[in-house]
């Protein structure tokens, strides 16, 4: 859909075209001659789910959906009421889309096959429905992260192997950032584009075309409180950042920290620690989708030694150390990891 924004009378000659998310998805599909429209339909359904979650997140302070749900997820993390709501909304939208044959979520112990009575859907979707949700109660930005793969299995219900694919095999990935405004940023491996939700028309509108990560930056983003638990290489890199006079910015919501890194440059990292050698962040539905976006935008994403997207998953909820952002900064980090941690 192409929307013509009619300016106030004083700027009558200032009509300019707004490209909606749906229009952009359709235009991107036209660049793929073999495209059948199924992925486009799936992306539009995710965009719908994002609008609904955004509506619920933005009223969290007003109605009793903030706070803990008095349960724990598969990782033993406290589940927030909005986590459950966002998870259920995404599953419902994906179930109704008809283009998804299975989902895996941070909030679900195992994957869930989705049966379509009328067709053999070819995509599986992995997502973190509401990342950083512990920040909801203090009104700090939170996010939804999603990754889309083609199923490997040929017929019947999807299998675990459909989800345990390398990040390089993602066909699309993105996130929704519920911040001062709600943004959806996605890639189908044709670059990275950002859309801002205009609540007055209920549309995500192209606001950040062709996002490019600056090759270097002066912002590092890490939970420095864990410094003494980090490997020597990560400690050496933090010391390097301080010696260089870089700024430290850490929101504690991965989507918000990575979004800032995408736009302004810098490096976001969550290393392994003495008590959690694989770190805290999940490979399949946090690190892989965000790594694809960072690489598509010209940045770099690594576990300190290897490309995140090349890691071979063995478990649905497995964790990985992660360092992502400006290419030159990740290169500096990898040099110090090689020198101190090899
Ligand atoms: P820490 C939020 O809980 C999250 O999963 C990510 O969004 C964020 O980057 C990280 O954990 C923050 O973890 O240990 O620094 O509080």
How large is the average pLDDT for residues 114-122?
Answer: 81
Is there a single domain that holds both residue 36 and residue 137?
yes
Lowest mean pLDDT among 26-35, 191-200, 292-301: 26-35
Mutate to test the pocket of ligand 1, among 73, 80, 83, 252 (most ligand atoms within 8 A of CB): 252
Is there a single domain that holds both residue 36 and residue 175?
yes
Is there a single domain that holds both residue 101 and residue 238?
no
How large is the average pLDDT for residues 80-98?
Answer: 90
The answer to whether residue 185 is domain-embedded is: yes
> Which pLDDT belongs to residue 87?
96
Strand, helix or coil at 94?
A: helix
> Which pLDDT belongs to residue 14?
45
Supply the residue whose CA is at minimum distance from atom 15 of ligand 1: 223
CA distance 82 to 79: 8
Is there a single domain that holds both residue 175 and residue 238?
no
> Which pLDDT belongs to residue 88?
95
- For residue 339, what are the CA distances in angstroms to 216, 277, 304, 342? 21, 18, 11, 6
Q: Say if residues 333 and 281 touch (Cβ distance below 8 Å).
A: no
Mutate to test the pocket of ligand 1, among 75, 140, 257, 281 (most ligand atoms within 8 A of CB): 281
| Tokens encoding 15 | 């009509």
**How many structural domains compose the chain?**
2
How large is the average pLDDT for residues 267-279?
Answer: 97
| Catalytic residue annotation | 77, 83, 106-107, 128, 130-131, 286
The answer to whether residue 119 is domain-embedded is: yes
Distance 222 CA to ligand 1 centre (A): 10
How large is the average pLDDT for residues 159-184?
Answer: 97
Ligand 1 contacts (CB < 6 A) are 131-132, 134, 223, 252-254, 280
Atom from ligand 1 closest to the CA of residue 225: 15
How large is the average pLDDT for residues 272-286?
Answer: 97
Q: List the domain range (segments joined by +) for residue 297.
A: 219-340
Is there a single domain that holds both residue 110 and residue 185?
yes
How large is the average pLDDT for residues 245-264?
Answer: 98
Lowest mean pLDDT among 19-33, 69-83, 158-172: 69-83
Is there a single domain that holds both residue 195 and residue 226?
no
The answer to whether residue 291 is domain-embedded is: yes
Residues of the chain above pLDDT 70, percent: 89
Is there a single domain that holds both residue 23 and residue 112?
yes
The answer to whether residue 164 is domain-embedded is: yes
Q: What is the pLDDT of residues 155-164, one digit of tens each?
A: 889 999 999 9
pTM: 0.92
* Unique residue bearing structure tokens 């949700």: 133
> Which pLDDT belongs to residue 313?
98
Is there a single domain that holds both residue 193 and residue 91?
yes
CATH label of the domain that carries residue 102: 3.30.540.10
Domain termination residue (choose one: 208, 243, 268): 208
Q: Say if residues 3 and 201 touch (Cβ distance below 8 Å).
A: yes
Lowest mean pLDDT among 2-11, 206-215, 236-245, 264-273: 2-11
> Which pLDDT belongs to residue 61?
63
Domain termination residue (choose one: 208, 235, 270): 208
How large is the average pLDDT for residues 84-111?
Answer: 94
Supply the residue whose CA is at minimum distance from atom 12 of ligand 1: 252
Residues of the chain above pLDDT 90, percent: 77
The answer to whether residue 80 is domain-embedded is: yes
Residue 249 pLDDT exceeds 80: yes
CATH label of the domain that carries residue 290: 3.40.190.80
Distance 253 CA to ligand 1 centre (A): 6
Distance 276 CA to ligand 1 centre (A): 13
Distance 132 CA to ligand 1 centre (A): 6
Atom from ligand 1 closest to the CA of residue 268: 9
Is there a single domain that holds both residue 203 and residue 227?
no
The answer to whether residue 214 is domain-embedded is: no
Atom from ligand 1 closest to the CA of residue 143: 7
Q: What is the dihedral of CA 295, 301, 305, 308, to 10 degrees?
A: -80
* Closest by CA position to 267, among listed 244, 147, 282: 244
- Mean per-residue pLDDT over the chain, rounded: 91
Domain termination residue (choose one: 181, 208, 235): 208
Q: Is 161 exposed, middle or buried (0-12, 13-18, 19+ CB in 10 A)?
A: exposed
The answer to whether residue 9 is domain-embedded is: no
Q: Say if residues 183 and 176 touch (Cβ distance below 8 Å).
A: yes
> Which pLDDT belongs to residue 13?
46
Is there a single domain that holds both residue 62 and residue 179?
yes
Edge-to-edge strands, sheet with 123-131? 112-113, 100-105, 123-131, 142-150, 172-178, 182-187, 193-198, 203-208
pLDDT confidence bin for 68, thresholds 50/70/90: low
The answer to whether residue 200 is domain-embedded is: yes
Phi-psi group of 280: left, alpha or beta (phi > 0 → left; psi -120 to 50 → alpha; rest → beta): alpha
Is there a single domain that holds both residue 40 and residue 185?
yes
Is there a single domain that holds both residue 169 and residue 314?
no
């Amino acid at each position: 859909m192409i929307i013509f924004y009619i300016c106030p009378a004083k700027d009558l000659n200032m009509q300019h075209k707004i490209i909606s998310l749906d229009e952009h998805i359709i235009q991107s599909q036209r660049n793929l001659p073999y495209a059948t429209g199924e992925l486009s339909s799936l992306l539009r359904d995710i965009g719908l789910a994002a609008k609904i979650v955004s509506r619920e997140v933005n009223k969290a302070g007003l109605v009793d959906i903030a706070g803990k749900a008095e349960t724990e997820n598969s990782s033993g993390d406290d589940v927030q009421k909005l986590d459950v709501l966002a998870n259920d909304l995404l599953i419902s939208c994906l179930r109704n889309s008809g283009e998804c044959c299975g989902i895996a979520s941070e909030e679900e112990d195992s994957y869930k096959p989705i049966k379509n009575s009328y067709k053999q859907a070819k995509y599986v979707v992995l997502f973190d429905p509401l990342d950083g949700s512990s920040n909801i109660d203090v009104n700090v930005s939170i996010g939804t992260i999603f990754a889309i793969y083609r199923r490997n299995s040929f017929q019947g219900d999807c299998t675990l192997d459909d989800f345990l694919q390398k990040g390089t095999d993602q066909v699309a990935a993105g996130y929704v950032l519920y911040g001062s405004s709600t943004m959806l940023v996605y890639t189908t491996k044709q670059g990275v584009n950002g859309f801002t939700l205009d609540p007055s028309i209920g549309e995500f509108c192209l606001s950040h075309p062709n996002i490019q990560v600056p090759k270097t930056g002066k912002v590092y983003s890490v939970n420095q409180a864990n410094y003494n638990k980090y490997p020597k290489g990560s400690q050496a890199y933090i010391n390097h950042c301080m010696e260089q006079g870089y700024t430290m910015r850490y929101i504690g919501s991965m989507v918000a920290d990575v979004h800032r890194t995408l736009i302004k440059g810098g490096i976001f990292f969550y290393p392994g620690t003495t008590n959690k050698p694989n770190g805290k962040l999940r490979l399949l539905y946090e690190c892989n989708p965000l790594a694809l976006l960072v690489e598509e935008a010209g940045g770099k994403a690594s576990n300190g030694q290897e490309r995140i997207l090349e890691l071979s998953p063995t478990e649905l909820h497995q964790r990985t150390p992660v360092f992502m952002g400006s290419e030159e900064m990740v290169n500096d980090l990898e040099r110090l990891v090689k020198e101190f941690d090899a």
